[in-house]
A and B are shown apart, each in its own frame.
Chain A
Amino acid sequence: AQKVTQAQTEISVVEKEDVTLDCVYETRDTTYYLFWYKQPPSGELVFLIRRNSFDEQNEISGRYSWNFQKSTSSFNFTITASQVVDSAVYFCALSEMSGNNNAGNMLTFGGGTRLMVKP
């Protein structure tokens, strides 16, 4: 069974600080996708990134960066120079790719990390 753990339930930082959100996952599959979504107070889940299990290259997109390490089953997310607009709940999620292609793609979410960025 697949499982995603986000140990940090809440993080508070001051604007311009860097912050890292941790994500640890469990899966028996060798092929899977990992995701990060942002959920602002409006409630909509906003897609940030998808990474497949064969690609361990770190990725940077503006102030966002992701560190994927299969050896520790982690997919951490760093925001550099945080801003008030980054305040939201962030979810890490896992999707296994094996088995029936039509039944695939069920997302298993972690419990989320609430990030508060204070001015």
Chain B
Amino acid sequence: EAGVAQSPRYKIIEKRQSVAFWCNPISGHATLYWYQQILGQGPKLLIQFQNNGVVDDSQLPKDRFSAERLKGVDSTLKIQPAKLEDSAVYLCASSFGTQETQYFGPGTRLLVL
């Protein structure tokens, strides 16, 4: 069974530029999550989708971050404009349901200069 796919794996941009990350969850998983992991810390949830609806985006900095899952499968996370403090690994995870185990993708390492 294929795992969670993410792209790109690495991205370097300058501050004030925009960037987008893509995630394809495990087939059949209805719930999708985006986490931000700053170096030396544990991941922190940004947003959770159930199918194509947002369940929890309370920790998403909505002035610059946006995410969508239009068809209930793939998801895109965007940052516009990026700040230096956005440098982190962005992890996507999926689960069969909201109470099931989350499985993570390889992450996208973002460096903002």
Binding site for B on A (CB under 8 A): 4, 35, 37, 42-47, 50, 91, 93, 97, 101-107, 109-112
| A109 to B44 alpha-carbon distance, docked (Å) | 7
A88 to chain B, nearest CB (A): 13
Structural contact, A47 and B103, CB atoms closer than 8 A:
yes
- List chain B residues, Cβ under 8 A from A111: 40-42
Query: Which of A44, A97, A101 contacts B104, CB < 8 Å?
Result: A44
Closest residue of chain B to A101 (Cβ to Cβ) is: B98
- List chain B residues, Cβ under 8 A from A37: 104
13 residue pairs of the A-B complex, CB under 8 angstroms, read A43-B107, A45-B91, A45-B93, A47-B101, A47-B104, A91-B42, A102-B98, A103-B48, A104-B99, A105-B31, A109-B42, A109-B44, A111-B42
- List chain A residues, Cβ under 8 A from B50: 102
- List chain B residues, Cβ under 8 A from A97: 99
Give chain B's interface secondary structure class: strand
A103 to chain B, nearest CB (A): 5
- Whether B79 is near chain A, meaning CB under 8 Å from some CB there, is no
Binding site for A on B (CB under 8 A): 31, 33, 40-45, 48, 50, 55-56, 89, 91, 93, 95, 98-107, 109
Return the 9 tightest CB-CB contacts between A and B, nearest first.
Answer: A109-B42, A45-B104, A44-B106, A105-B98, A43-B107, A104-B98, A50-B101, A106-B45, A103-B55
- List chain B residues, Cβ under 8 A from A109: 42-44
**Residue in B93, B95, B101 whose Cβ sees the most chain A Cβ within 10 Å:** B101
Asked whether A110 and B107 contact (CB < 8 A) given A97-B99, A105-B99, A105-B100, the answer is: no
**Residue in B42, B89, B93 whose Cβ sees the most chain A Cβ within 10 Å:** B42
Structural contact, B42 and A43, CB atoms closer than 8 A:
no
Query: Which of B41, B55, B56, B89 contacts A43, CB < 8 Å?
Result: B89
- Other contacts beyond A45-B93, A104-B99, A111-B41: 5, CB < 8 A: A4-B42, A37-B104, A105-B31, A105-B102, A111-B40
